Protein backbone atom coordinates (compact mmCIF):
# COMPACT_ATOMS: atom_id res chain seq x y z
CA UNK A 1 0.00 0.00 0.00
CA UNK A 2 1.28 3.49 -0.82
CA UNK A 3 2.33 5.41 2.23
CA UNK A 4 0.19 8.43 1.27
CA UNK A 5 -2.94 6.40 1.99
CA UNK A 6 -4.28 6.56 5.55
CA UNK A 7 -4.61 3.38 7.63
CA UNK A 8 -7.81 1.63 6.45
CA UNK A 9 -8.77 0.91 10.07
CA UNK A 10 -8.55 4.59 10.99
CA UNK A 11 -11.87 6.32 11.67
CA UNK A 12 -11.67 9.06 9.06
CA UNK A 13 -14.79 10.87 10.18
CA UNK A 14 -13.13 11.84 13.46
CA UNK A 15 -9.69 12.63 12.04
CA UNK A 16 -8.59 16.23 12.48
CA UNK A 17 -6.68 17.44 9.44
CA UNK A 18 -3.99 20.07 9.78
CA UNK A 19 -3.04 19.69 6.12
CA UNK A 20 -5.14 20.28 3.00
CA UNK A 21 -7.53 17.41 2.37
CA UNK A 22 -7.78 15.42 -0.83
CA UNK A 23 -10.54 13.05 -1.78
CA UNK A 24 -9.53 9.41 -1.97
CA UNK A 25 -11.73 7.28 -4.16
CA UNK A 26 -11.72 4.14 -6.24
CA UNK A 27 -13.84 5.86 -8.88
CA UNK A 28 -11.75 7.22 -11.76
CA UNK A 29 -14.67 9.49 -12.63
CA UNK A 30 -14.14 11.05 -9.19
CA UNK A 31 -17.73 12.06 -8.62
CA UNK A 32 -17.71 13.33 -5.04
CA UNK A 33 -18.25 16.47 -3.01
CA UNK A 34 -15.36 18.81 -2.22
CA UNK A 35 -13.86 18.00 1.16
CA UNK A 36 -15.12 14.40 1.31
CA UNK A 37 -12.59 11.78 2.27
CA UNK A 38 -13.08 8.06 1.87
CA UNK A 39 -10.83 5.04 1.52
CA UNK A 40 -11.98 1.75 0.04
CA UNK A 41 -9.21 -0.80 0.74
CA UNK A 42 -10.76 -3.52 -1.45
CA UNK A 43 -10.88 -1.36 -4.60
CA UNK A 44 -8.17 -0.76 -7.14
CA UNK A 45 -7.08 1.64 -8.42
CA UNK A 46 -7.03 4.09 -5.57
CA UNK A 47 -7.57 7.65 -6.79
CA UNK A 48 -6.86 10.95 -5.09
CA UNK A 49 -8.62 14.18 -6.11
CA UNK A 50 -7.09 17.26 -4.58
CA UNK A 51 -9.46 19.72 -2.97
CA UNK A 52 -7.64 23.05 -2.82
CA UNK A 53 -10.58 24.76 -1.09
CA UNK A 54 -8.75 24.62 2.28
CA UNK A 55 -5.85 26.72 1.03
CA UNK A 56 -5.81 30.49 1.56
CA UNK A 57 -5.98 32.55 -1.62
CA UNK A 58 -2.56 33.34 -3.15
CA UNK A 59 -0.85 30.42 -1.38
CA UNK A 60 2.20 29.13 -3.23
CA UNK A 61 1.44 25.42 -3.60
CA UNK A 62 4.39 23.05 -3.42
CA UNK A 63 4.55 20.57 -0.50
CA UNK A 64 1.04 20.95 0.95
CA UNK A 65 -0.05 17.62 -0.58
CA UNK A 66 3.21 15.76 -0.03
CA UNK A 67 1.57 13.51 2.58
CA UNK A 68 -0.85 12.45 -0.18
CA UNK A 69 1.91 11.65 -2.66
CA UNK A 70 2.43 14.75 -4.82
CA UNK A 71 4.47 17.96 -4.87
CA UNK A 72 3.85 20.93 -7.14
CA UNK A 73 6.10 23.45 -8.81
CA UNK A 74 5.03 26.86 -10.15
CA UNK A 75 1.49 26.68 -8.72
CA UNK A 76 -0.53 29.24 -6.75
CA UNK A 77 -3.99 28.69 -5.22
CA UNK A 78 -6.38 31.46 -6.23
CA UNK A 79 -10.04 32.38 -6.26
CA UNK A 80 -10.34 33.54 -9.89
CA UNK A 81 -11.71 37.08 -10.17
CA UNK A 82 -11.96 36.74 -13.96
CA UNK A 83 -15.20 34.90 -14.85
CA UNK A 84 -13.51 33.52 -17.98
CA UNK A 85 -11.52 31.17 -15.68
CA UNK A 86 -14.30 29.45 -13.67
CA UNK A 87 -13.51 26.67 -11.18
CA UNK A 88 -14.85 23.22 -12.04
CA UNK A 89 -15.92 22.72 -8.43
CA UNK A 90 -15.75 24.92 -5.36
CA UNK A 91 -14.18 28.37 -5.59
CA UNK A 92 -10.40 27.77 -5.69
CA UNK A 93 -8.12 26.68 -8.53
CA UNK A 94 -4.41 26.29 -9.13
CA UNK A 95 -2.85 28.92 -11.37
CA UNK A 96 0.39 28.29 -13.24
CA UNK A 97 2.46 31.07 -11.63
CA UNK A 98 4.70 32.94 -11.12
CA UNK A 99 5.87 31.74 -14.56
CA UNK A 100 2.77 32.10 -16.74
CA UNK A 101 1.04 29.13 -18.32
CA UNK A 102 2.92 26.22 -16.76
CA UNK A 103 2.81 23.99 -13.71
CA UNK A 104 4.30 20.66 -12.71
CA UNK A 105 3.31 17.82 -10.38
CA UNK A 106 5.85 15.26 -9.12
CA UNK A 107 4.63 12.04 -7.57
CA UNK A 108 6.39 10.47 -4.60
CA UNK A 109 5.26 7.07 -5.88
CA UNK A 110 4.59 6.28 -9.53
CA UNK A 111 0.98 6.47 -10.71
CA UNK A 112 -0.91 5.09 -13.68
CA UNK A 113 -3.56 7.76 -14.32
CA UNK A 114 -3.55 11.55 -14.04
CA UNK A 115 -6.38 13.95 -14.79
CA UNK A 116 -7.49 17.51 -14.28
CA UNK A 117 -10.00 20.13 -15.34
CA UNK A 118 -8.27 22.96 -17.18
CA UNK A 119 -9.21 26.43 -18.42
CA UNK A 120 -6.63 28.01 -20.72
CA UNK A 121 -6.20 31.01 -23.00
CA UNK A 122 -4.21 28.96 -25.51
CA UNK A 123 -3.72 25.32 -26.48
CA UNK A 124 -2.72 23.27 -23.41
CA UNK A 125 -0.53 20.17 -23.40
CA UNK A 126 -0.26 17.74 -20.50
CA UNK A 127 2.74 15.42 -20.59
CA UNK A 128 3.68 12.51 -18.34
CA UNK A 129 7.26 11.39 -17.74
CA UNK A 130 8.77 8.26 -16.20
CA UNK A 131 11.64 8.07 -13.68
CA UNK A 132 14.18 8.41 -16.52
CA UNK A 133 12.42 11.62 -17.66
CA UNK A 134 11.14 9.95 -20.84
CA UNK A 135 7.75 10.96 -22.20
CA UNK A 136 5.22 8.15 -21.54
CA UNK A 137 1.90 9.89 -22.32
CA UNK A 138 0.61 13.14 -23.75
CA UNK A 139 -2.74 14.84 -24.31
CA UNK A 140 -3.75 18.28 -25.58
CA UNK A 141 -6.77 20.57 -25.58
CA UNK A 142 -7.51 23.72 -27.53
CA UNK A 143 -8.03 27.04 -25.77
CA UNK A 144 -11.31 27.11 -23.87
CA UNK A 145 -11.27 30.55 -22.25
CA UNK A 146 -14.84 31.56 -21.41
CA UNK A 147 -16.18 28.15 -22.45
CA UNK A 148 -15.84 26.26 -19.14
CA UNK A 149 -13.43 23.52 -18.15
CA UNK A 150 -11.86 20.86 -20.34
CA UNK A 151 -11.00 17.51 -18.78
CA UNK A 152 -7.48 16.32 -19.59
CA UNK A 153 -6.53 12.74 -18.70
CA UNK A 154 -3.43 10.64 -19.15
CA UNK A 155 -2.90 6.94 -18.60
CA UNK A 156 0.15 4.75 -18.77
CA UNK A 157 -0.04 0.98 -19.33
CA UNK A 158 2.60 0.56 -16.65
CA UNK A 159 2.41 2.32 -13.32
CA UNK A 160 5.31 4.58 -14.23
CA UNK A 161 4.20 8.22 -14.25
CA UNK A 162 6.57 10.10 -11.96
CA UNK A 163 5.95 13.66 -13.16
CA UNK A 164 3.45 15.61 -15.25
CA UNK A 165 3.59 19.07 -16.75
CA UNK A 166 0.69 21.18 -17.93
CA UNK A 167 1.72 23.90 -20.36
CA UNK A 168 -0.26 26.62 -22.06
CA UNK A 169 2.34 28.10 -24.39
CA UNK A 170 2.39 31.91 -24.23
CA UNK A 171 -0.87 31.97 -22.26
CA UNK A 172 -2.55 31.45 -18.89
CA UNK A 173 -4.05 28.31 -17.38
CA UNK A 174 -5.95 27.26 -14.29
CA UNK A 175 -6.22 23.70 -12.99
CA UNK A 176 -8.99 22.32 -10.81
CA UNK A 177 -9.80 18.88 -9.42
CA UNK A 178 -6.29 17.54 -10.04
CA UNK A 179 -6.45 13.77 -9.59
CA UNK A 180 -4.18 10.76 -9.84
CA UNK A 181 -4.65 7.01 -9.51
CA UNK A 182 -2.35 4.13 -8.69
Domains of the chain: 51-181 (2.60.120.260)
Nearest Cα to Cα of residue 126 among 106, 148, 102: 102
Termini Cα distance of the chain: 10
Q: What CA–CA distance (Å, rounded) separates 147 from 166?
A: 19
**pLDDT of amino acid 156:** 85
C-alpha–C-alpha distance, residues 17 and 129, integer Å: 31
For the chain, 182 residues long, the average pLDDT of each consecutive 10-residue run is 30 34 43 34 68 93 94 97 93 94 95 94 95 94 91 86 95 94 87
pLDDT of the residue at 70: 96
pLDDT given at position 157: 82
Q: What is the C-alpha separation between 122 and 9, in angstroms, rounded?
A: 46
Q: Give the model's pLDDT for residue 8.
A: 32
How far is residue 174 from each of residues 55, 64, 131, 149, 150, measured CA to CA in Å? Answer: 15, 18, 26, 9, 11
Q: CA 155, CA 41: separation in Å to the nearest integer?
A: 22
Of 171, 153, 175, residue with least CA distance to 75: 175
pLDDT in tens, 93-106: 999 999 999 999 99
Q: Give the pLDDT confidence score for residue 159 in this predicted structure.
A: 80
Amino acid sequence: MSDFIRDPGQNLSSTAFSEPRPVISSDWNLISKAGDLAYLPHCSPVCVRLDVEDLPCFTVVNRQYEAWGVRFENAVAIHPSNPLYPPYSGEMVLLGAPRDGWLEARFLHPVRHVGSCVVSSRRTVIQAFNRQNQLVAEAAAEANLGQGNTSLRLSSAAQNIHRVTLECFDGQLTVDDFCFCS
